Amino acid sequence: MLAATSGAQAQDATGKSFVDNFDSLSGSRWFVSDGWNNGKHQNCTWSKSQIKVSGGTLNLSFEKKPYKERQYSCGEVQTRERFSYGVYEARVKTDTGSGLNAAFFTYIGPVDKQPHDEIDFEVLTKDPSKVQVNTYVGGKPYNEKLVDVPGGADKGFHDYAFVWEKERLRWYVDGQLVHEATGATPLPSNAQKIFFSLWGSDTLGEWMGPFTDPGRVVTMSVDRLAFTALGEPCQFEESVACKLQ
């Protein structure tokens, strides 16, 4: 069994182990972003209208729907609590579209009066055959890698997981280890919130592909999210945490 970690970093975290099957969207767990954007690179405004739960699935959408100073509306949710070392797992299906980003990640930063730490899974939906993993530590990117998604991120639900320990990070797709980072580079150390987001950009074309109006509602669907703290038992049969004990 992986050992739990103590110390100042762990004390910053308030979040406990949980599984969310999205039978509803708990207001005590989730904050829905609404009425702003993350900067000039983003061509849409976060809107609560782009977040819906139906049939046990959380759906985030992107569409041409003017809101505030942007012509497009997009969706983001974030946990209210911060989480520390453990196993993070999401079962997600994405859509397609050049210039869009469908992300499952953890983040903390200056808005929370903390350094920018981040751990990512990002499907650049111009090419849903792959997902990009990476980290940020103190606002600097590390450990970037594009990995295959068997069958395509848009063709069905896939399981994305990472195991965050003090001196090691491991990323998994459908239960298979796809990337690992150790002490060769800095690793995130600050407790973080969990996010899902779907957004577009007119300016990051080299990375996300040139933006083109999809002419329809683009959707990212989440069937399950789980966090299992280090040292605690796995919470469902398919969990990566079960393999680590």
DSSP tag of 50:
G
* Distance, CA of 220 to CA of 162 (rounded, Å): 19
Residue-wise pLDDT tens digits, 22-72? 999 999 999 999 999 999 999 999 999 999 999 999 999 999 999 999 999
What pTM does this model have?
A: 0.95
Residue-wise pLDDT tens digits, 170-210? 999 999 999 999 978 999 999 999 999 999 999 999 999 99
The single residue of 69, 122, 180, 232 carrying the catalytic annotation is: 122
232 is catalytic: no
Q: What percent of the chain has pLDDT over 90?
A: 92
The single residue of 118, 165, 237, 238 carrying the catalytic annotation is: 118
Q: Are strands 100-108 and 193-200 parallel, antiparallel or unpaired?
A: antiparallel
Cβ(37)–Cβ(46) below 8 Å: yes
pLDDT at 3 over 60: no
* Distance, CA of 5 to CA of 37 (rounded, Å): 35
167 is catalytic: no
